[in-house]
Every structure is written in C-alpha cells, then in structure tokens.
Amino acid sequence: MKDFNLIINGKSIAATNYFDVINPADKSVVARCPKASVEQLNDAVAAAKAAFPDWSALTYAERRDKLMQLADAVEAHGKDIMTLLTKEQGKPMKGFADLGSGFELNGALAWIRGTASMELTPETIQDNDVARIELHRKPLGVVGSITPWNYPLLIGVWHIIPALLTGNTVVMKPSEMTPLTILYFGEIAKEILPKGVLNVVTGAGDIGAAISSHEDIRKVVFTGSTPTGKAIMRSAADNLKRLTLELGGNDAGIVLADADIDACAPKIFATSFINNGQTCAALKRLYVHESVHDQLCKALTNIATSMKTGNGFDEDTDFGPLQNQEQLNIVKALAEDAKDRGANFLCGGKVSNDNGYFYPITLVNDINDGSRLVDEEQFGPILPIIKFSNVEDAIVSANRLQVGLGGSVWSKDLEKAQIIASRLECGTVWINNHAMVQPDAPFGGVKDSGFGVEFGEAGLKEYTSIQTVQIFKS
Ligand code: ADP
C-alpha cells in the first residue's frame, strides 16, 4: 500500500512524525500514518480560511457539481476504499446482511449525492409597501470536523458534505485509530475541489483539542464520546464556536406484549449488532414484555449462534473484531460484571481467538437495571435483555440514564406504540425498527448524547448563520 500524507492546501504533505495503524483482525501494522504538527494544523486552517471567499461565493449549483464529481470519483475507487476500511477498522468486506465495508461505501455515496441535492433558499418574512424582510443563510467560515473510528468514511462524509455544500471550507481530523481511509478520500478530493477547501490532518486528542480551541475555526462538528464532547465544548468557548455534538448513546428498545416476534427478531438482531455493536444508535438495551420474553430470546439465540466472527477478508465472516484493545476490554469488563451478578449468557461470552480483538456475538438475560452491561454503553457485540411486566416500568428504565440518542418501541399496534415512543427522551424514536438513518431525516441526541442535528434541511442549517435583510422601500 502506498504512503499516506496529510492534505493541506490541495497538496499531499509528508509529516516528520508517524504512528502505526493496527489491523484489529491480526494486530499487524497496516501502514504508517503521518502525525500532523500544530504548525501543520495551522497551515491547514490558514489554507481553509484563504479558500473560503471564493468557495462561498459559488452558487449551490456550482458547489453541487463539484460534490457530485467527488461522489463519482469515490465510487471509482470503491474497491480500494473498502479494502482500507476492512484493514484498519476490521469490519467485513461483505458481512452479515451486507452491512460491512460495502455498506459504508454505498452509504457514503448515497449521503454525498443525497446531501448535495439539497439547497437552502432565502425566505421572505414580510413584503409590503413599507419593507421586504428576507432571511438569508450564510456559511460560517472554516469548519473543523473530528471523527471516531466506527464508521471512518461515512461519518466523515456526514460532517463535511453539508459543510461544503453550504459554502464553508473544512479541516478534518479522523480518529487516530482509523485515519487511512479519510487520508485516501482526501487524496481523491484534492483532484476535484479547489485548493484549501478540504484539508485533512491527523493525530490524536491533542490535535483535536487544537482544532476545538483554534481562533480561526468558526464551528466544530464532532462525533465521539461524551467526555470528549464536553472537553470540546469547554475549549470552543473562547471564540464562541458553534458546535454540533453527536455523542454516545445507550439506546433502549421496548418490545410490547403484542409484538410480532417472528418479524421483530431479525430486525432487533441486525440493529443491535450492526457494525459489531460499534454504532452510536444501535439498540443497546432490550426491554421485553414477560409474555414474549422467552420466545424472543430463543429467536435471537437462533440467529446469533449461526453467526461467524472472524477476519473481515474471509468471505463467510459475518462480524469482524472490535476495532481496538480498549473497546474489547470494555466489553469484557461489562460481561464479567454481568457474570458476577448471576446473569444468564444465552450465547457467546467466551473469547476463542485472541490473534485479533475478537469477541463473539453475545446475548445476556436474567439481568436488571444497575448492572454495568445495562447502564453503560457497551459499543460492542453483547446485548442485555431485560424482562418487564409493566410497560410504565420499561419507560422509566429507558429514560433513567443521562444519554438520549435513540429509542424504539416494537408492537403491532402502531398508535399505542407511537404514544409510548413520544414519551422516550431521545433524539430519534423508531417503531418496529431501530438505528435507521437517511440523508433527509434529521438525526441527533438530547441530554448527554449531545445537541444539534445532522442530515436534512435542519442539518444543513447547522452550518450557517442567519442574516436578516430588511429592505425599506422609501
Ligand atoms: P474514543 O475514546 O472512542 O476514541 P473519543 O471521543 O475520545 O472516542 O475520540 C473521538 C475523536 O475525538 C478522535 O478523533 C479523537 O482523536 C478525538 N479527541 C480525543 N480527545 C480529544 C480532545 N480533548 N479534543 C478534541 N478531540 C479529541
């Protein structure tokens, strides 16, 4: 594989320092990654600032044209991108229900094209003999994007495409665990976008912190953990940066007595274990009415025990490894706590391959609120199943944590399900599904899961400020 470079002002720039990127399936080194210095970050911000006047002066149609070209170029390099994703992130090329690297690539393409098709147009508030008052949306300037390691390409696209479409320029920093796909994406983009419009720097939290405190960056969009989100908010205060913070969740799903278990089970399985559970809005706590509990546990166990966890390049692999040792340690610790409390493991729970960061698909019942596995975000392939007899108790359980990203209610009675769903404290509620997102439907959290939304018109507006234009006619 070729060398990787930073992308600054339309050029590939080498670094003086490097760090290794590890393949989580076998702990081998995938590649050396350049480590940006603070001076290089400053160069990137200066380039983005210099590129802003011309880029923001283009029409939506002109910027859309560039972004559509970018989508085509990414698609043309699709195989390489998928290979890199599987190498550095661990997800299978194909995987269970085709939710592997191909899914991430296709999602990224759908999001680039779907988002680039949108537009914010001025609104007229008043138009009479006295005055016309219009509301215009203006880009903010340089946007900093800081991304996590679970969907390196897709979340990068979620951040940068609405920023670019609305006329901002961008400095992005991928996770130090999975930086290579975005560096490659940056190489592709630099052939299409004007210089300085999209810059990519790499490094760990120190470079992230330098972005969030940088006086020439007007906004930071961040997807990652709640503690890091809070740190970013603190250091963004000095120049009153705007923020979109998409932070952790611990989504509850509530299965009512009248749910169609045969229809629900495959969807509950898929949306709990998507990306090996390493998904912000995966279903992470499953509350099931006692009358259908045993039937659902059996159906989920049947699916789970037919799954193969392994190297993502093997064609029959359903799920890959966890992305890193630290995340594996968290999953193991939560499982140990559940065992110590006498929970029942329906399947999984034992590591059989430690050549990589593997953990099997694991289902745990006879467990209650207060266990670490229920109360803390596992972000891995282990799902607690909690039995309830009164739905009011399940609603209290769903809402009792500080996080509020998503939630779901499963029932044949859509009206009743919607009434319950409206009582869940979270940014998205699904009925008879979970974790589904699309380019035109806003997505974001409440409480400690953050604020601001991504996607749709509401998501585009987050990258703009309002300018009210008051035209008095005489
Ligand atoms: P995780 O621990 O799961 O990697 P983080 O929220 O720490 O989740 O990381 C997400 C992203 O935030 C990564 O790109 C990381 O480098 C970056 N990051 C970590 N610490 C900071 C910080 N203090 N300020 C800004 N970005 C940070």
Say yes or no: 175 and 108 in one domain. yes
Distance CA 121, CA 137 (A): 8
- State whether 277 and 214 are in the same domain: no
Asked if 194 and 58 touch (Cβ cutoff 8 Å), the reply is no
The per-residue pLDDT for 307 is: 98
Catalytic residue status for 264: no
280 shares a domain with 236: no
In tens, the pLDDT along 421-434 reads 999 999 999 999 99
List the structure tokens of 69: 């070209």
Backbone angles phi, psi at 199, to 5 degrees: -120, 145
Please count the CA atoms within 13 angstroms of the CA of 309 that sit on its side-chain side. Answer: 29
Indicate whether 49 and 36 sit together in one domain.
yes
Helix 152-165, helix 60-76: angle, nearest 10: 160
Catalytic residue among 88, 246, 425, 462: 246
Q: Would 109 be classed as within a structural domain? A: yes
pLDDT at position 352: 82
pLDDT tens for 83-139 read 999 999 999 999 999 999 999 999 999 999 999 999 999 999 999 999 999 999 999
Same structural domain, 67 and 104 = yes
The range of the structural domain enclosing residue 96 comes to: 6-247+449-472
257 and 226 together in one domain: no
Residues 126 and 58 in one domain: yes
Q: Are 437 and 154 in contact (CB under 8 A)?
A: no
Residue 127 lies in a domain: yes
pLDDT tens, residue by residue, 234-285: 999 999 999 999 999 999 999 999 999 999 999 999 999 999 999 999 999 9
User: Residue 359's domain is classified under what CATH number?
Assistant: 3.40.309.10
Which atom in ligand 1 lies closest to the alpha carbon of residue 204? 16
* C-alpha closest to that of 202 among 146, 244, 153: 146
Whether residue 369 sits in one domain with residue 343? yes
**Does residue 444 lie within any of the structural domains?**
no
Taking only the tens place, the pLDDT of each residue in 32-83 is: 999 999 999 999 999 999 999 999 999 999 999 999 999 999 999 999 999 9
Percent over 90 (pLDDT), the chain: 99
CB atoms within 10 A of CB 273: 29
> What is the count of structural domains for the chain?
2
> Is it the case that residue 462 has pLDDT exceeding 90?
yes
Residues 297 and 205 occupy one common structural domain:
no
Sole residue written with tokens 């002109």: 62
DSSP state of 296: H
Distance 232 CA to ligand 1 centre (A): 9
**Distance (Å, whole) CA 460 – CA 470:** 24
Shared-domain flag, residues 263 and 357: yes
180/40 same-domain check: yes
Backbone dihedral angles phi then psi of residue 287, each to the nearest 5 degrees: -100, 125
Q: Output the ligand 1 site: residues, CB below 6 A.
A: 146-149, 173, 175-176, 204-205, 208-209, 212, 224-225, 228, 231-232
- Any bridge partners for residue 411, and if so which? none
What CATH number is associated with residue 119? 3.40.605.10
CA atoms within 13 A on the CB side of 305: 9
What spacing in Å lies between the alpha carbon of 224 and ligand 1's midpoint?
6
447 — pLDDT class (breaks 50, 70, 90) = very high
Question: Would you say residue 1 has pLDDT above 70?
Answer: no
For Cα atoms 224, 227, 232, give the angle at the middle one, nearest 5 degrees.
75
Statement to judge: residues 210 and 295 lie in one domain: no
User: Mean of the pLDDT values across residues 146-162?
Assistant: 98
C-alpha to C-alpha distance for 153 and 102, rounded to whole angstroms: 11
In a domain, 443, yes or no: no
